[in-house]
């Protein structure tokens, strides 16, 4: 009899304290993602003086935070003043369990862009799916098809580990869908959001 993924994942950690990091590792294991992803295996590419590669998010969270803040201010005004507060510990736990790949763009060593993808097996098809968490190029470094080079590099890396479905998001404020359509992405849904000023309890 086949053991259900959740029971198997919990059984592997019997006797251990359930920390947030361990909970993330169990969550990722149940999702059925690949493990032991080494960013260096994807190599790197050069584009107009920029270096595009994958790096361990755990090694560069401080550098990333400045980009995250700039991205937040540019695209998240719809959140009505909600402040950026990333859970980097959980991000890194998911990365350690093989559920995340962090792509970067550097110019003379400076981090000027990034793209992060979550990895999981679809619960509907049990096939590997990569879902974009963020993609951002600092305004001073946009142009010259840099973002397209980043997307192409990420796609190649994801295909090399068996991913054949890649999902990306487009905010209305930046119309990223225009670019995504040019490189073969197709719209499949409209995502909606609703904010409450005060928490509501549904009865």
Q: Check which CATH number belongs to the domain holding 48 and give it.
A: 3.40.630.30
Q: Is residue 23 part of a domain?
A: no
Residue 20 structure tokens: 């947030």
- How far is the C-alpha of 161 from the C-alpha of 83, rounded, in Å? 35
Encode pLDDT of 38-88 as tens digits: 999 999 999 999 999 999 999 999 999 999 999 999 888 777 678 899 999
pTM of the predicted structure, to 2 decimals: 0.81
- How far, CA to CA in Å, does 36 sit from each of 41, 52, 119, 161, 171? 11, 21, 12, 11, 32
- How far is the C-alpha of 65 from the C-alpha of 129, rounded, in Å? 26
Q: Is residue 201 part of a domain?
A: no
pLDDT over 70 for what percent of the chain?
A: 85
Confidence of residue 199 (pLDDT cuts 50, 70, 90): low
Q: Is residue 174 part of a domain?
A: yes
Neighbouring residues of 106: CB distance < 8 A, sequence distance ≥ 6: 50, 51, 53, 112
Helix (H, G, I), strand (E, B) or coil at 100: strand
Residue 37 buriedness (CB in 10 A; 0-12 / 13-18 / 19+): buried
Give the structural domain span for 58. Answer: 34-182
* Average pLDDT along the chain: 87
Only one residue has tokens 């991205």, namely: 71
**Structural domain tally of the chain?**
1
Q: Is residue 187 part of a domain?
A: no
């Amino acid at each position: 009899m086949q053991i259900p993924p959740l029971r198997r994942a919990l059984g592997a950690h019997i006797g251990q304290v359930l920390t947030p990091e361990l909970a993330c590792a169990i969550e990722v294991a149940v999702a059925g993602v690949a493990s032991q992803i080494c960013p260096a295996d994807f190599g790197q590419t050069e584009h107009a003086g920029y270096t595009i590669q994958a790096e361990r998010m755990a090694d560069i969270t401080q550098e990333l935070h400045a980009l995250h803040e700039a991205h937040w201010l540019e695209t998240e005004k719809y959140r009505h003043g909600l402040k950026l507060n990333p859970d980097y510990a959980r991000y890194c736990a998911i990365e350690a369990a093989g559920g995340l790949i962090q792509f970067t763009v550097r110019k003379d060593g400076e981090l000027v862009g990034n793209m992060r993808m979550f990895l999981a097996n679809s619960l509907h098809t049990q096939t590997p799916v990569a879902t974009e968490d963020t993609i951002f190029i600092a305004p001073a470094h946009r142009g010259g098809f840099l973002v397209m080079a980043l997307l192409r590099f990420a796609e190649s890396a994801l295909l090399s580990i068996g991913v054949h479905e890649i999902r990306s998001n487009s905010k209305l404020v930046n119309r990223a869908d225009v670019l995504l359509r040019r490189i073969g992405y197709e719209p499949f849904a409209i995502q909606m959001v609703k904010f409450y000023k005060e928490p509501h309890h549904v009865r």
